[in-house]
C-alpha cells in the first residue's frame, strides 16, 4: 500500500473518523483506524461497535492495499506536521508503516486488516434527504434534554418519529421534555416508524459533515447519515420509548410573552445567588411584569430583578431549576418566547413566539416546589 496525500486533507479525514475510536477498549484492535486504498480513493474507517464512521479522501495512489494503524499515533503525527504532502507506505509482510515528508520520516507498526471486526451489512428501510442546517437544529434543540440514567435506556436517546407529512424529534429526562415537529421534511415511509438514536451518534453527525444536505436512512436496528464523502452508521437503542404525549398538558391557560434575551439574561444574573443544590429561581407574574428572584440561605445571598412582559392573568408564583430554564431558552431563536402555566405544581410549557421556520418547538419544564 502506497500513496501521497495532502497533510491538511488527511488530518481533516482523520478528525472526522476519530470520534468513533474508543480511548480504551476491551478490544484493543478498535483503537486502530482501517485504511483501504483503491486507485486514488483512500477510505478511513473507525468503529466502537456501536458507531462506525467511514470517510473517503482523494489521494495519489501508487499501490492498492489495506492496513490497520494505531489511530491516536497516526492522528497526532499528521496533525503535528507542517503543510504540504506526505508519502504513506505500508509493507504487507511486516505491517510496518513509513510516513515520509519533505523534512523527515516516521515509522510505526500496524496490523493486518483481517484482525478488524466484521462491519454490519446495513440495509436501510427508509431514506430521505435533509438540509444539514435543519437536521442540526432538530438535534441541537432536543439532545440536551436526554437522560443520563442507565436504568432508563430509552430516555438516554433521542426519539425520531417518521411520518408521511412530518418528522418529530423528542427527548426527555423526566424533569423536562422537548418536542420538535418539522412539517417541511418528508419521510419516504409507507407506515409510521419510530427509532431511538444515541446522542453520541447524533453529535458526531452534526460535526462530521461539510455538505449542505445529508441523506438519512434507517432500519429497525441502525440509522445511517451520509453526505457523499462520509458515512456514519449508529446502532439504535432497542427499547420502547415512553408515551410522552400523555404528559404534555392541554389546559395551561395562563400565558406570559416576554423578550427572550430579557428573561434569559435576567435568569443568568439572578441564578448566581441561587442555592447550589436546587438552583431554584422564582418567577412571580403580575400584570405585564415578571419578577425573577433567588435566595441561598446557606450563604445569605439573594437577588431579584423585574422585567416587563405581556401577562394579564391572575398573579402567580412558580419555581424552576435555573439551569433548565437557561438551556431551554438558549435553544430558541425567536425574539420573543411564550410561557404557558397552569398551577405552580404542574408542568409549564416554553415555546418560540413568532415565526417558526417550518419547525414547531415545545419545551416542557417541571416546576420546583417553593419553600416559603
What DSSP letter does each residue of 164-203 carry, written as one string?
TTEEEEEEE-SSEEEEEEESS-----SS-EEEEE-HHHHH
pLDDT band at 356 (very low <50, low <70, confident <90, very high): low
Q: Are residues 286 and 343 in the same domain?
A: yes
pLDDT for 129 beyond 80 = yes
**Whole-number percent of the chain with pLDDT over 70:** 98
C-alpha cell belonging to residue 51: 458507531
Q: Are residues 295 and 219 in the same domain?
A: no
**β-pairing verdict for 60-63 and 51-58:** unpaired
User: What confidence score (pLDDT) does residue 75 get?
Assistant: 97
Domain termination site, one of 207, 224, 246: 246
Q: Are residues 213 and 291 in the same domain?
A: no
Nearest to 305 by CA among 330, 268, 275: 268
Range of the domain at 89: 2-115
CA distances (Å), origin 275, targets 25, 145, 164: 39, 22, 47
Total domain count, the chain: 3
Query: Does any domain span residue 120?
Result: no
C-alpha cell belonging to residue 361: 418547538
Q: Are residues 132 and 90 in the same domain?
A: no
Q: Are residues 242 and 130 in the same domain?
A: yes
pLDDT for 355 beyond 70 = no
Nearest to 341 by CA among 356, 324, 319: 319
Query: Does any domain span residue 75?
Result: yes
Q: Is 45 exposed, middle or buried (0-12, 13-18, 19+ CB in 10 A)?
A: buried
pLDDT tens profile 332-352: 999 999 999 999 999 999 999
Q: Are residues 72 and 156 in the same domain?
A: no
Q: Are residues 241 and 290 in the same domain?
A: no
Domain termination site, one of 246, 277, 303: 246
Query: Does any domain span residue 371?
Result: no
Q: Are residues 267 and 242 in the same domain?
A: no
Query: Does any domain span residue 13?
Result: yes
Which are the contacts of 266, defined by CB distance < 8 A and separation ≥ 6?
Answer: 292, 305, 307
Query: Does any domain span residue 121?
Result: no
- Residues 210 and 234: their CA atoms lie apart, in Å, by 19
pLDDT tens profile 209-260: 988 999 999 988 999 999 999 999 999 999 999 999 999 999 999 999 999 9
Residue whose C-alpha cell reads 420573543 in the numeric block = 336
Q: Are residues 264 and 238 in the same domain?
A: no
Q: Are residues 133 and 242 in the same domain?
A: yes
Q: Are residues 94 and 138 in the same domain?
A: no
pLDDT band at 323 (very low <50, low <70, confident <90, very high): very high
Residue whose C-alpha cell reads 508519502 in the numeric block = 87
Amino acid at each position: 500500500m502506497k500513496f501521497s496525500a495532502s497533510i491538511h486533507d488527511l488530518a481533516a479525514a482523520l478528525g472526522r473518523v476519530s470520534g468513533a475510536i474508543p480511548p480504551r477498549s476491551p478490544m484493543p484492535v478498535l483503537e486502530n483506524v482501517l485504511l483501504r486504498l483503491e486507485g486514488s480513493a483512500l477510505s478511513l474507517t473507525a468503529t466502537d461497535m456501536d458507531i462506525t464512521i467511514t470517510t473517503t479522501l482523494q489521494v495519489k495512489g501508487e499501490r492498492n492495499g489495506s492496513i490497520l494503524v494505531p489511530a491516536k499515533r497516526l492522528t497526532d503525527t499528521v496533525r503535528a506536521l507542517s503543510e504540504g504532502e506526505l508519502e504513506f507506505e505500508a509493507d504487507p509482510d511486516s505491517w510496518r508503516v513509513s510516513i515520509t515528508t519533505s523534512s523527515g520520516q516516521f515509522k510505526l507498526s500496524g496490523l493486518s486488516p483481517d484482525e478488524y471486526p466484521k462491519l454490519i451489512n446495513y440495509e436501510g428501510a427508509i431514506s430521505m434527504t435533509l438540509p444539514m442546517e435543519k437536521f442540526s437544529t432538530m438535534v441541537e434543540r432536543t439532545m440536551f434534554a436526554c437522560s443520563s440514567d442507565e436504568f432508563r435506556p430509552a430516555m438516554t436517546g433521542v426519539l425520531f418519529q417518521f411520518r408521511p407529512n412530518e418528522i418529530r424529534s423528542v427527548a426527555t429526562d423526566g424533569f423536562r421534555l422537548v418536542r420538535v415537529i418539522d412539517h417541511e421534511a418528508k419521510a419516504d415511509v409507507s407506515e409510521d416508524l419510530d427509532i431511538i438514536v444515541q446522542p453520541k451518534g447524533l453529535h458526531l453527525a452534526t460535526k462530521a459533515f461539510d455538505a449542505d444536505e445529508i441523506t438519512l436512512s434507517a432500519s429497525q436496528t441502525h440509522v445511517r447519515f451520509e453526505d457523499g464523502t462520509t458515512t456514519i452508521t449508529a446502532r439504535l437503542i432497542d427499547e420502547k420509548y415512553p408515551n410522552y404525549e400523555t404528559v404534555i398538558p392541554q389546559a395551561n391557560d395562563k400565558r406570559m410573552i416576554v423578550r427572550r434575551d430579557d428573561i434569559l439574561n435576567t435568569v443568568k444574573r439572578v441564578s448566581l445567588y441561587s442555592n447550589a443544590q436546587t438552583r431554584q429561581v422564582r418567577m412571580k407574574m403580575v400584570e405585564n411584569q415578571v419578577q425573577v428572584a433567588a435566595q441561598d440561605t446557606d450563604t445569605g445571598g439573594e437577588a431579584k430583578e423585574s422585567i416587563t412582559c405581556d401577562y394579564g392573568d391572575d398573579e402567580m408564583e412558580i419555581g424552576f431549576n435555573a439551569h433548565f430554564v437557561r438551556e431551554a431558552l438558549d435553544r430558541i431563536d425567536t425574539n420573543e418566547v411564550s410561557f404557558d402555566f397552569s398551577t405552580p405544581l404542574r408542568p409549564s410549557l416554553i415555546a418560540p413566539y413568532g415565526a417558526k421556520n417550518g419547525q414547531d418547538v415545545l419545551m416542557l419544564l417541571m416546576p420546583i416546589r417553593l419553600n416559603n
